[in-house]
Chains A and B, each alone.
Chain A
Amino acid sequence: MADRDAMDEGVSSEEAARNDEDSTPREAWQIGTSHRKVDAMERMRGVTRYTDDLKLPGMLHCKIKRSPHAHANIVSLDTSKAMAMEGVFGVVTGKDFPEPYGVIPWTPDENALCVEKVCHVGDGIAAVAAVDEDTANAAIDAIEVEYEVLPAYYDPQEALAEDAVSINPWSRKGNNLSKDVVLEFGDPDAAIAGAELIVQGDYHFEGTTHAAIEPHCAVASVEPGSGVLTVWSATQVSHYLHRELAKVLKLAAHRIRVIQPPLGGAFGGKSEPFDLEFCVAKLAMMTGRPVKCLYTREEVFYSHRGRHPMKMNYKTGFTKDGKITGVASRTFLDGGAYSSFGLVTTYYSGQLLCAPYDFPTYRFHSTRAYTNKPACGPKRGHGSVQPRFAMEIQLDKAAVELGLDPIELRRRNEIGSNRATVNGLMVGSNGFLDCLASVERRSEWTSRRATLGYGRGLGIAGSTYISGTNYPIYPNEMPQAAVQICLDRSGRARVFSGANDIGQGSNTMLAVITSEELGLPLEDIRVLSADSDLCPVDLGAYSSRITLMVGNACLDAAKKLRRKVCGAVAKRWEVPRKRVTLAGRRAIDIEDPERNVPLAEAFQWAEADHGLLGETGSYNTPKDRHGSYRGGTIGASPAYSFTAHLAEVNVDDETGVVNVERIWCAHDCGRALSRKIVEGQIEGSSYMGFGEALMEEHLVDAAHSGVHAGPSLLDYRIPTSVDTPDIEAIIVEAPDAQGPYGAKEAGEGPLHSSIPAIANAIYDAVGVRLDRLPFSPPRVLAAIEDRKAREASGELAPHKDSPDDEKRSA
């Protein structure tokens, strides 16, 4: 968007729109305010049809038979009894899906259903379509399977042992190695060895899962004659589902229509194809009838793709002033049975750590292993929440050792804006210092921290995250995002976008941008999204890419239309186009606001001049903002968000129960396009981190055949309203040149620092470091008792003054 002056009637409308930034600078009339979402009211009235609310004539119900073994060869599989049952219309097994797939094209290592072996408890091996769910369940039970049980591995380092049996059937590396990444920048060993302070720590982040309230669901239907397959799925990446369906079903992509109905939460848990989509599609093709599959909650836990367990060792060097001299890490990732996004996760476990702090030297070595567990993948804050936990505790330890205020230590290391990180990623705008200052001020950190007695504490942490990735999952030169907007003579806009609204409000974001540019209120804008027959391709709701990328594409299309409409009005008023603006459902003469017409009329003039008013907009990422080394593009993003979290806790030193009383979260989202939606993302992220910090743990029971430790929303505890602390969301705006109106991401960044802020607050309260998640009462109590014993022996001084009774009861 270089040349703001060019305005040449001779150039094509597209070029002009690209060059002609806007006719006149003007006050935003929508951006930065709050909005009712375009699609929330119908959800609240119970009218919206989510995937399980779809009902088609003659629809069959699909159930999937799953492995009771963590690791076994399938010796025989007999479906004949199931097939013979009344009400059963079709049965499929792994043999119906020989083509392996994987959301990352370099690692196609799973089949829609297991072919020769099963790799975790809950792995799918066969599916039936029957007249109702009860019949389908009975048919599943009638399928006979003989297994040869194999040794199972639940720990990445055990799985990597030389004599371990290979788990993944498509793995080419051997030894259950999924991915190994070593990247070094400068000489961290020397820099750390020569540092005035070396902080070293081992951290263990046990996995967690998404637990969206809507279980996965898919429906498929085949049109007789044309054979066009339609798949409705509760997915957050329609396009990747589309591609993998074509590959596995061996159908041309244009003969498949993928529709994402309104979605009941995802958080990364619906960001790749799952067995149910392939099964309903194949069964619909086989039976000629529509087929639905709705996961049970237990199956949602087996589909997982949640946060990887990571065992991390960190060494960090500091000067006595608290400046970081170098960072070195060694990380083992527990990948579960399949790759999922694991190649990227392995890189992200190191690549995304290099802001908001500047460090001159860095090395990370991350190794992902296959294990006999449900596959891990991307969960909100993909790959970088775990190392952030380690890093922010390292900083806190250094602050204590050096006698520095932990906020001050972070300030001293702040990377600044328009700077390259040590690993060559280009940071644009950076509001991190404002984030730190905001939470510092709101929490009254300086005055209160000094006075809180034993048991009470404040903790700080910072973080950064990407606003999408500069390189898509499959290499191509096409735009990363595209939007089509149509205006009609009634004075209405229709926005067509492939983007997946998963509850984060992307449909509303598109309406806000369209509204801002075209002067229509939100209620005059219809957003049609995530239907591959109607909408341009978008890559999906992952890596926090939609606001920046799809927003830019939408802005591109909307500006082109704005130019046409303003031009048509200007022509009739015989004024320069830049004198015309669009706002409040009217076209207005800026110099003589009394002169204005309803937008519908303006649209009619423009349609008379140009024909039907439709424009497309595209966005592609910059390709020059990354390191020039193998893997250097991974983690490269057009813009980075920044976050600071401050948590206040009350720790019961007799029970180990941690009560998080309040969380302040300041997040630099570049520019808040819609304030309440941004606040909601900050609050939801902080909440999710809080749950992971205190109670969530996605575990399989290694001592009991690898069963899941509790695949239900009773045993996998996510916080209720009465457990959740008050969360104060603070929007910080450091507009980035890459984002629409300066906007960056807000949906994932604010999760990261939630967890270490709580860990650091616990330290402030009772003087113990929690290096393992979650901070369950038994763990916290054990750490407190250990500290008390060391205090009693004289090894440690008391952490804080013992509270008097008044303080304790406060």
Chain B
Amino acid sequence: MAEPRLLQLRINGDAHHVAAPSHWTLLEVLRYELDLIGTKQGCDKGDCGACTVQVDGHPVLSCLTLACQAQGRTVQTVEGLGFSSPSGCHPLQDAFDRYDAAQCGFCTPGILMSAHAMFERLGRPVTREEAKEGIAGNLCRCTGYTKIIDAIVDASERVFEGASPATADEVATHG
């Protein structure tokens, strides 16, 4: 066994110190060391997106991120998504709940992390095309994506109430 390394990770705002073998991925550290089980494992190797977390605000595949590479970075997982809302759930989660956008719910944490990052990046309501592009790396086998797209668009309109919608140019760029 390779020597474990002591890592300092900031996860959902909390500082964590965790020892992990150098061949462990961020996914394994989250799930099996820190018991942050909301991040899922679906395909083993970056083909499905179930393990999506944000590192420094960018949605990435935690199954292809070595834990050591997250050293000193800011990691956000689905568990942290609701922290900032008084209700304990982010408007995205609320919209997914209203639209029944999570059937089995296994891909949902990853999709939420991709959608949330898109909100942070665009800072305005998103179009259906943008929502599709934003989660194009996350496979869902239950829903046909329809209700997921509905929920993302709805949530973005609530989060960015009053913000101007996408301009034609922005739609062309990101759609």
A→B interface (CB under 8 Å): 34, 36-37, 40-41, 43-50, 52-53, 55, 134, 210-215, 262-267, 294, 296-298, 502-505, 676-677, 679-680, 683-684, 686-688, 690, 712-714, 718, 720-722, 724, 726-727, 729
Write out the residue numbers on chain B whose beta carbons fall within 8 Å of the beta carbon of A37: 97, 100, 102
Interface members, chain B 57-89 (any A CB < 8 Å):
77-79, 81-82, 88-89
Write out the residue numbers on chain A whose beta carbons fall within 8 Å of the beta carbon of B9: none
B14 at the interface (CB under 8 A from A): no
The reply to whether A722 and B143 contact each other, CB–CB distance below 8 Å, is no
CA–CA, A712 and B46, complex, Å? 10
Q: Quick one: closest A residue to B94, CB to CB? A: A41
Write out the residue numbers on chain A whose beta carbons fall within 8 Å of the beta carbon of B132: 721-722
The reply to whether A683 and B143 contact each other, CB–CB distance below 8 Å, is yes
CA–CA, A215 and B107, complex, Å? 12
CA–CA, A686 and B102, complex, Å? 17
The reply to whether B100 and A677 contact each other, CB–CB distance below 8 Å, is yes
Q: Quick one: closest B residue to A294, CB to CB? A: B41
CA–CA, A53 and B27, complex, Å? 12
Q: Quick one: closest B residue to A48, CB to CB? A: B105
Write out the residue numbers on chain A whose beta carbons fall within 8 Å of the beta carbon of B98: 36
Tell me which of B43, B137, B143 contacts A687 (CB under 8 A): B143
Tell me which of A294, A298, A683 contacts B144 (CB under 8 A): A683
Write out the residue numbers on chain A whose beta carbons fall within 8 Å of the beta carbon of B174: none
Q: Quick one: closest B residue to A298, CB to CB? A: B44
CA–CA, A134 and B137, complex, Å? 29
Write out the residue numbers on chain A whose beta carbons fall within 8 Å of the beta carbon of B82: 45
The reply to whether B37 and A53 contact each other, CB–CB distance below 8 Å, is yes
Given contacts A680-B100, A680-B143, A721-B133, 7 further A-B contacts (CB under 8 A): A43-B105, A44-B89, A44-B109, A46-B36, A47-B38, A50-B40, A264-B40
Write out the residue numbers on chain B whose beta carbons fall within 8 Å of the beta carbon of A50: 37, 40, 106
The reply to whether B100 and A505 contact each other, CB–CB distance below 8 Å, is yes
Give the Cβ gap from A510 to chain B, nearest Cβ, in Å: 16
Write out the residue numbers on chain A whose beta carbons fall within 8 Å of the beta carbon of B1: 134
Q: 8 A–B contact pairs at CB < 8 A?
A: A45-B38, A46-B77, A50-B40, A52-B41, A213-B106, A680-B103, A683-B143, A683-B144
The reply to whether A297 and B42 contact each other, CB–CB distance below 8 Å, is yes
B121 at the interface (CB under 8 A from A): no
The reply to whether B146 and A46 contact each other, CB–CB distance below 8 Å, is no
CA–CA, A296 and B63, complex, Å? 13
B→A interface (CB under 8 Å): 1, 31-32, 35-45, 47-48, 50, 77-79, 81-82, 88-89, 93, 96-100, 102-109, 112, 131-133, 135-149
A45 with B78: in contact, given A680-B103, A724-B144 (CB under 8 Å)?
Answer: yes
A213 with B45: in contact, given A687-B143, A722-B136 (CB under 8 Å)?
Answer: no
The reply to whether B144 and A687 contact each other, CB–CB distance below 8 Å, is yes
CA–CA, A728 and B36, complex, Å? 36
The reply to whether B102 and A265 contact each other, CB–CB distance below 8 Å, is no
Give the Cβ gap from B49 to chain A, nearest Cβ, in Å: 9
CA–CA, A531 and B171, complex, Å? 49
The reply to whether B146 and A683 contact each other, CB–CB distance below 8 Å, is yes
Give the Cβ gap from A133 to chain B, nearest Cβ, in Å: 10
CA–CA, A729 and B146, complex, Å? 10
The reply to whether A44 and B93 contact each other, CB–CB distance below 8 Å, is yes
The reply to whether A44 and B97 contact each other, CB–CB distance below 8 Å, is yes
A684 with B144: in contact, given A46-B78, A263-B104 (CB under 8 Å)?
Answer: yes
The reply to whether A213 and B112 contact each other, CB–CB distance below 8 Å, is no
Give the Cβ gap from B103 to chain A, nearest Cβ, in Å: 4
A53 with B93: in contact, given A46-B109, A503-B104 (CB under 8 Å)?
Answer: no
Give the Cβ gap from A134 to chain B, nearest Cβ, in Å: 8
The reply to whether B104 and A213 contact each other, CB–CB distance below 8 Å, is yes
The reply to whether A43 and B100 contact each other, CB–CB distance below 8 Å, is no
Write out the residue numbers on chain B whose beta carbons fall within 8 Å of the beta carbon of A134: 1
Q: Quick one: closest A residue to B108, CB to CB? A: A44
Task: Kindly list the 7 A-B residue pairs having the minimum CB-CB distance in the complex, ordered from nearest.
Answer: A46-B38, A503-B104, A687-B144, A43-B105, A264-B106, A53-B37, A713-B47
Tell me which of A36, A48, A503, A714 contacts B103 (CB under 8 A): A503
The reply to whether B37 and A46 contact each other, CB–CB distance below 8 Å, is yes
Write out the residue numbers on chain A whose beta carbons fall within 8 Å of the beta carbon of B42: 213-215, 264, 297, 713
Q: Quick one: closest B residue to A44, CB to CB? A: B93
Q: Quick one: closest A residue to B103, CB to CB? A: A503
Give the Cβ gap from B149 to chain A, nearest Cβ, in Å: 7
From B81, B106, B136, B147, name the one whose CB has the most chain A CB atoms within 10 angstroms.
B106
